[in-house]
Amino acid sequence: MRRSFLALQGTASPFFAQLATALMKRGHRFTRVNFCGGDSVYAGAESKLDFDGRVEDLAGWYAATIERYDITDILMFGDCRAVHEPVHTIAQAVGTRVHVFEEGYVRPHWITLEGTGVNGRSGLPRDARWYLAQGGHVPACPPALQTGYNLHERAFHDIRYRVANMLYSVRFPYYRSHRPKNGLIEYSGLAIRALLQRKHADDAERVMSRLVGKHDYFLFPLQLNSDAQIIVHSPFDGICNAIERVMRSFAAHAPECSWLVIKNHPLDTGLINYRRFADRLAKDLDIAHRLCFIDAGHLPTLLEHAKGTLVVNSTVGLSALHHGCPLIALGNAIYDMDGLTWQGNIDDFWTQAMAPDMALYSAFLDYVVHHTQINGDFYTRTGIAMATAGAVQRLEAAARA
């Protein structure tokens, strides 16, 4: 069946261009929307439309474009960006399929592709009994083939995308990135973090040597402050708000012999000093002697020995489940269900949380991988080729479902 794809904003990489080539070779039509210079630089040989208007004009523009090009399917990377928000209601009203790409629920070496939305918008059931019932029908999760992913290649694409945005700013005068800061500020922060990498690793090693296997501790891995899963799909207005909620509950309700380990996100730019914020709050709460803030550390080891893990809705939650660690999700997470996460309030978690049901975790993981994950990545040649092949297969299967 011949399909007509409309691709909205994609990754800062050649992924959407290669996906367009693969789909067109199979007889489908593919039209790409450029919202900024970065989109233009990474567009391929497909038909292209430039949107240079205001966000408030997008709803009408989308409706007209879907009708004019007889669009059957819409593709996007991330479903919460301002340029994507208006299309969901319109697509649903006219019966156009929506397919959302995102970083993998399971990491590394996987990407996510779901219909309608991901994470907080995911259509995955939240019923433990449903997943257990699927156990006899879904094959076991296959091992991932390595993609060769590396941070340097991703950074190259991101820098190229941002430079193009500046160079083409006159062409797209109303475009505003979903990223809160410009590239120079963010990369300056990451450069400073890189220079401190050895110190951070040594600090984390000292903390782990002091705690692992010797003291009870709870782990709170942070997410990025600009992450849509924090901004849109959580009750918090930022990471500091989440830190404060966790620390106040820990101070009032956790066993006095236990510790709290806050682990910073590996890609945090340092624009907000979470360590300083946590240290000051710890003094106010009289728990400074039981708080450790680390910027590095071997996550599997920390999860394996933790008394419990707290996340907002991070993919680290799945890693915690993999290690059989008691878990609470404070935001809207696909794995937040009875049997996997603590369903009570955070104040009781410190003393009452139980380990996850590993049979349920296995059934859940098998289903999620087979129905939402594709082996590959968005940034390396090998990973993009793998992701493209898997995405074509998944997208064509969606039309037959």
Q: Is the pLDDT of residue 75 over 90?
A: yes
Angle at 353 between CA 349 and CA 359, to 5 degrees: 140
Q: Identify whether residues 290 and 379 lie together within a single domain.
A: no
Query: CB–CB of 50/171 below 8 Å?
Result: yes
| pLDDT confidence band for 137 (50 / 70 / 90) | confident
Query: CB–CB of 376/384 below 8 Å?
Result: yes
Q: Identify whether residues 248 and 129 lie together within a single domain.
A: no
DSSP tag of 146: P
Q: Identify whether residues 379 and 357 lie together within a single domain.
A: no
Query: CB–CB of 23/5 below 8 Å?
Result: yes
| pLDDT confidence band for 149 (50 / 70 / 90) | confident
Q: Identify whether residues 341 and 215 lie together within a single domain.
A: yes
Backbone angles phi, psi at 341, to 5 degrees: -125, 160
* CATH classification at residue 299: 3.40.50
Q: Identify whether residues 128 and 206 lie together within a single domain.
A: no
Stated length of the chain:
401
- 257 domain-assigned: yes
Q: Which two tokens stand for residue 280?
A: 């000051």
- Say whether 41 sits in a helix, a strand or coil: helix
- 217 domain-assigned: yes
- 173 domain-assigned: no
CA of 313: how far to CAs of 80, 121, 239, in Å?
A: 15, 13, 12
Rounded to an integer, what distance in angstroms lies between the CA atom of residue 242 and that of residue 330? 9
Sheet holding 259-263, edge to edge: 291-294, 259-263, 217-221, 308-311, 327-329
Q: Identify whether residues 281 and 254 lie together within a single domain.
A: yes
pLDDT of residue 185: 66
Q: Is the pLDDT of residue 101 over 80?
A: yes
How remote is the C-alpha of 113 from its chain's centroid?
A: 12
pLDDT in tens, 152-195: 898 889 889 988 998 999 999 999 887 655 566 676 766 777 78
Query: CB–CB of 372/394 below 8 Å?
Result: no
pLDDT in tens, 347-391: 999 999 999 999 999 999 999 999 999 999 999 999 999 999 999
* CATH classification at residue 54: 3.40.50.20
Q: Identify whether residues 36 and 120 lie together within a single domain.
A: yes
- Lowest average pLDDT, out of 2-11, 95-104, 180-189, 228-237, goes to 180-189
Taking alpha carbons only, the member of 240, 237, 231, 218 closest to residue 346 is: 218
- 79 domain-assigned: yes
Q: Is the pLDDT of residue 228 over 90?
A: no
- 191 domain-assigned: no
Q: Identify whether residues 317 and 381 lie together within a single domain.
A: no
Rounded to an integer, what distance in angstroms lies between the CA atom of residue 148 and that of residue 243? 34
- 242 domain-assigned: yes
| pLDDT confidence band for 24 (50 / 70 / 90) | very high
Instruction: Please give the tally of structural domains in the chain.
Output: 2
Bridge partners, 34 (sequence order): 50
pLDDT of residue 225: 86
Q: Identify whether residues 29 and 56 lie together within a single domain.
A: yes
Q: Is the pLDDT of residue 398 over 90?
A: no
Q: Identify whether residues 380 and 269 lie together within a single domain.
A: no
- Lowest average pLDDT, out of 208-217, 222-231, 294-303, 305-314, goes to 222-231
pLDDT of residue 62: 98
pLDDT of residue 182: 59
Q: What is the pTM of this model?
A: 0.93
CA of 326: how far to CAs of 156, 301, 318, 340, 379, in Å?
A: 38, 15, 11, 8, 33
Compute the average pLDDT of residues 256-260: 97
Average pLDDT, the chain: 93
- 357 domain-assigned: yes
pLDDT of residue 195: 80
Task: Identify the domain containing residue 133 by its residue range.
Answer: 4-151+374-400
Q: Identify whether residues 14 and 132 lie together within a single domain.
A: yes
Rounded to an integer, what distance in angstroms lies between the CA atom of residue 273 and that of residue 277? 6
pLDDT in tens, 107-129: 999 999 999 899 889 999 999 99
Q: Identify whether residues 207 and 349 lie together within a single domain.
A: yes
- Lowest average pLDDT, out of 19-28, 261-270, 321-330, goes to 261-270
- 161 domain-assigned: no
Name which residue leads in pLDDT, 217 or 179.
217
Q: Is the pLDDT of residue 231 over 90?
A: no
Compute the average pLDDT of residues 31-44: 96
